[in-house]
Amino acid sequence: MIEIDGSYLEGGGQILRTATALATIFKNPCRIFNIRKGRKEPGLKTQHLLALKALCNLCNGKLEGDKIGSLEI
């Protein structure tokens, strides 16, 4: 399992989207923590959650922590 600190660099949603897309392509589970930690409103926003659910449905994956404001998936 790959573990990624979501607050790395600018700490936005791009690291979340890229990491989960690559995890889907390579069929490798990942854990992302500190999602958008440095932002004014940290955690998952609606657009991040919808992208994650779409990826999960695409590959029949498993998603935990899938709620607005979650800091970890």
Specify the 3-state DSSP secondary structure of 3. Answer: strand
**Reported pTM:** 0.84
Average pLDDT, the chain: 89
Query: pLDDT tens digit string along 28-61?
Result: 999 999 998 888 899 999 999 999 999 899 889 8
**Taking a C-beta distance cutoff of 8 angstroms, is the pair 44, 50 a contact?**
no
In this structure, is residue 33 part of a structural domain? yes
In this structure, is residue 73 part of a structural domain? no
In this structure, is residue 37 part of a structural domain? yes
Q: What pLDDT is stored for residue 54 in this prediction?
A: 92
**Which structural domain range is residue 41 located in?**
2-58
- Neighbouring C-beta atoms of residue 59, cutoff 10 Å: 11
In this structure, is residue 12 part of a structural domain? yes
Number of domains in the chain: 1
